[in-house]
Amino acid sequence: MTATLDPAASSAPEDAGAATLRRPWRPTPERASLLLLLGLTALGYLWTLSESGYANQFYAAAAQAGGESWKAWFFGSLDIGNAITVDKPPASLWVMGLSVRLFGLSSWSILAPQALMGVATVGLTFGIVKKVAPWPAAIAAGALTALTPAAALMFRFDNPDALLVLLLVGAGFSTIRAIETGKARWLVLAGVLLGFGFLTKMLQAFLIVPAIAAVYLIAGPGSFLKRVLHGVYCFGAMLLAAGWWIAIFELVPESWRPYMDGSQNNSVLELAFGYNGIGRINGGDYGGLGNAGFGSAAGILRLFQGVSGGMITWLLPAALILLVAALVWLRKAPRTDLTRATLLLTGGSMLVTGLVFSFMGGIYHDYYVVALAPWIAATAVVGATVLWRHRAGIAARIVLAVTLLASAVWAWVLLGQSDQQPYATLRWVVLALGLGAAAGLAVVARLERFGRGVAVAVLAAAAVSVGIGPAAYAIQTIGTPHTGSIVTAGPYSGGGPGGLGGPGGPVRMQGGPGGQAMPAMPGGQNGGPAGGPNGGQDGGQDGGQGPELFRLGGGGGMFGGDEISDELAEMLRTNAGRYRWAAATTSSTSAASYQLGSGESVMSIGGFNGTAPSITLKQFQEYVADGEIHYYIAGGGPGGMGSFELPAGMELPGNAQLPAGGQAGPGGDRESSVSTEISSWVEENFTSTDVDGTTVYDLTQPKADS
């Protein structure tokens, strides 16, 4: 049962590997297991996928636009008429837009690419671990990645995170290959993938760069100068892969391209280093609405508290313990030891990403933690493999036993958060199985005297004990539709610090079916106990019923988006071919709903949060005079921000502002914005019509006295 790593095998010549690849394919236990893992992952991620509809309508509408307009596809426009982009670069939209163009607009054409990215991520995680561990361990790492609840959520959702995680794991795999072979081209490939990661979700892609740079400088083959030179190649490739699109966007005249949402000066660089960069770290106001006011309180325990804990941390304590222990056992290994290099890469990526998520003072959403899933799984499995190889010594067995015990206890805690069945019973099963397996690990060297099968049984019990909890949460997540922009995984939706319904978590918000939860302002608001009738989130999960912080007007949930009525959709389609935009409305979430519902281009005034100066009143008047906009739809509309009202005596913290279209209550005032100027001008000059509760102005029919 003892597995060994042959250093020579990991540095075999490229020709030998090529010869191996040319041999006829034969089924082996390893290949069969890998195919089974990938097949089950695909089945799970594609299962009932269409029940989530378009999931995040904000990105679905942009994919729709990209499927109809190559200009919208290239720039990442939200609308077919190319008025404004989404507040992210367009790489993930390139994939979805091509899918829509090939297969037509549907839930499957939007979401299936995300699921396939998840399958590829699992395969690459297997590949990383297989370099330094037996194939059953690599299978375990891939399976643990697939079963991470955050992965089961985001690889079935159309946010940019799925592509980002795939690119980052690909960069990690390429780095290991560069260390293994000494070939600069692998490190250059890592740089290219990181660059496209930037074009997916900007600076978050660079969170693993410190680990990649440090690992290659430490463990890369050849002289130090050669390793530095290869690092320069990687950095140059990263800049080119990210910079070509940025250069085109910045150099193209503004009149030829859409406005960059999330910026105040129509600049992708401002978006990258402002709202989506420094603003996410310090909470500063770089995008109009600011970065304050979202997420649980920052701190070292943020990932372990509330919803985030059940989404990602099942194996995080084990990964941290095993990382330190394995590095201690490998302290005398050669500089180029591939096992230690892999641990430094996966563990370093895990630590840097986790610490940034824990302490970032700007917007933090629980689903961000999907970026940790492959690093935690790989670190835990490789670390456990190192200690398993040294199980003849009592110290290694004790560390393994203590780690498994800690994992079982933590799973018992997490499973107890939901206070539902089958989790309330399952937690005791996990605890009992973990305790038994931990005891077996402590004496496994003696148990092996009775045969190798005993050790295999102990390992199997350990694997099952750490996998049951996340698997149960992942299955629940797969079986639950998720829509909107703020989504979570697992049955637990609040009640603890930082979670829904607890201090530092979201508070209740009225305005749509289920009463979506609104994230708390910095410092946290007490949202009350979980399970309130008005706190539903993510397809029916219960959240907290706390004080009414905001009142939402309109028909949708928090940044959610709803289906529009048939009458309104038909109205927008009428003579739509004569106009560049069938309608205009405030906020991108509202515009996305109308565009998806009607299939026609809808202009977003003010972008995602309604505060981007994407258009002036004069420009809007010129568009109307030139007959380029047919209708104006008042209010937040389906899924829009709607009308907010602050309770008496309450003020928004920091630099946070009410979204455009909002009305200040007794707690504070809100400066007039372009969107309100446009709304006022339309109301004064055009006659309104009520369409199924939505106020619509025909901009081709001015009032008689205007």
| Residue that is last in its domain, among 428, 452, 473 | 473
Q: Name the range with the highest mean pLDDT among 482-496, 619-633, 649-663, 673-687.
A: 619-633
Least confident residue range of 25-29, 32-36, 45-49, 307-311: 25-29
Determine the structural domain holding residue 459 and report its residue range.
33-473
The answer as to whether 12 is a domain residue is no
The answer as to whether 533 is a domain residue is no
Is the pLDDT at 549 greater than 70, yes or no?
Answer: no
Give the pLDDT score at 20.
Answer: 46
> CA 593, 599, 601: angle at the middle one, nearest 5?
80
254 and 110 inside one domain: yes
171 and 320 inside one domain: yes
What mean pLDDT do residues 381-400 have?
Answer: 94
The answer as to whether 26 is a domain residue is no
468 and 578 inside one domain: no
Give the pLDDT score at 553.
Answer: 26
The answer as to whether 495 is a domain residue is no
pLDDT in tens, 255-274: 999 999 988 899 999 988 88
Is the pLDDT at 529 greater than 50, yes or no?
Answer: no
The answer as to whether 4 is a domain residue is no
Give the pLDDT score at 452.
Answer: 77
Least confident residue range of 164-178, 197-211, 219-233, 641-655: 641-655
pLDDT in tens, 69-103: 999 999 999 999 999 999 999 999 999 999 999 99
Beta strands 517-518 and 507-510 are: antiparallel
* 636 vs 595, more confident: 595
pLDDT in tens, 392-404: 899 999 999 999 9
Is the pLDDT at 637 greater than 80, yes or no?
Answer: no
Going by pLDDT thresholds of 50, 70 and 90, the confidence category of residue 239 is very high
Give the pLDDT score at 23.
Answer: 65
**Global confidence as pTM:** 0.85
* Percent of the chain residues topping a pLDDT of 70: 79
Going by pLDDT thresholds of 50, 70 and 90, the confidence category of residue 673 is confident
What mean pLDDT do residues 2-31 have?
Answer: 54
- Phi, psi (degrees; rounded to nearest 5) at 695: -85, 120
Amino acid present at 449: R
| Residue that is last in its domain, among 457, 473, 489 | 473
Average pLDDT, the chain: 82
How far, in Å, CA of 674 to CA of 676, rounded? 5
The answer as to whether 165 is a domain residue is yes
CA atoms within 13 A of residue 65's CA, in its CB half-sphere? 36
pLDDT in tens, 274-315: 888 887 887 766 655 555 445 568 889 999 988 999 999 999
Contact 3, 129 (CB under 8 A): no
Contact 375, 353 (CB under 8 A): yes
- b/e map of 607-644 (b: 16 or more CB within 10 Å)? bbbbbbbbbeeeebeebbeeebbbbbbbbbbbbbbbbb
The answer as to whether 331 is a domain residue is yes
Give the pLDDT score at 317.
Answer: 96
Give which of 172, 171, 246 is closest to 202, Cα–Cα.
246
Reduce the secondary structure of 539-575 to three states and give it as a string: CCECCECCCCCEECCCCCCCCCCCCCCHHHHHHHHCC
Sequential DSSP letters for 106-161: SHHHHHHHHHHHHHHHHHHHHHHHHTTS-HHHHHHHHHHHHH-HHHHHHTTS-STH
Domain count, the chain: 2
Give the pLDDT score at 569.
Answer: 92
pLDDT in tens, 186-196: 999 999 999 99
For the chain, the first-to-last Cα distance in angstroms comes to 87
Least confident residue range of 300-309, 407-416, 642-651: 642-651
Going by pLDDT thresholds of 50, 70 and 90, the confidence category of residue 636 is low
The answer as to whether 593 is a domain residue is yes
| Residue that is last in its domain, among 442, 473, 504 | 473
Give the pLDDT score at 447.
Answer: 81
Tokens of 643: 């009308």
* 624 vs 706, more confident: 624
575 and 446 inside one domain: no
Which residues lie closer than 8 Å to 42 by C-beta, 6 or more apart? Answer: 115, 116, 119
305 and 442 inside one domain: yes
Residue reference for tokens 């636009």: 65
Going by pLDDT thresholds of 50, 70 and 90, the confidence category of residue 546 is very low
581-586: strand order across its sheet = 602-605, 581-586, 629-633, 694-702, 686-691
Give the pLDDT score at 562.
Answer: 62
349 and 220 inside one domain: yes
What mean pLDDT do residues 486-507 have?
Answer: 55
